[in-house]
Amino acid sequence: MTDNSRAYSEQAFKAKLSTIAGVDKLIDAAKQVHAMLRDPQTPLWVKALCIAVLGYLIVPTDAVAGFIPVLGYGDDLAALTAAIAAIASHMPKPRADVAD
């Protein structure tokens, strides 16, 4: 098992997203998890899970190679979806009281 927390970095995250343009669901899920990681009110255990799943997205040696069209990102999307399901109750709610 790899230590994903060492693999995660802002630069690697942004570089990975730029290589998978067109896989909208994966990008949206990754952005949600990334936003939770950066939120100062996110509990530490949730941040740890965010680091792990984003690290898995970034690490080039995962279960299914990323260069395989569509299928290559299926395991990444599954990991992100599972993480979001586990931490959904900690996601910030949109504020209705904020005026534009």
Residue 90 per-residue DSSP state:
G
CB atoms within 10 A of CB 67: 8
| pTM listed for this prediction | 0.62
CB atoms within 10 A of CB 23: 19
Summarize the confidence of residues 46-66 as an average pLDDT.
80
pLDDT digits (tens, 9 = 90+) for 21-55: 556 777 888 888 898 899 898 899 999 999 999 98
CB neighbours of residue 36 within 10 Å: 23
Q: Residue 59 — pLDDT band, cuts 50, 70, 90?
A: confident
H-helix or E-strand spanning residue 27: helix 24-38
| Residue located via tokens 């690490």 | 59
The end-to-end CA distance of the chain, in Å, is: 46
pLDDT score at 96: 54
CA 93 from centre of chain: 18
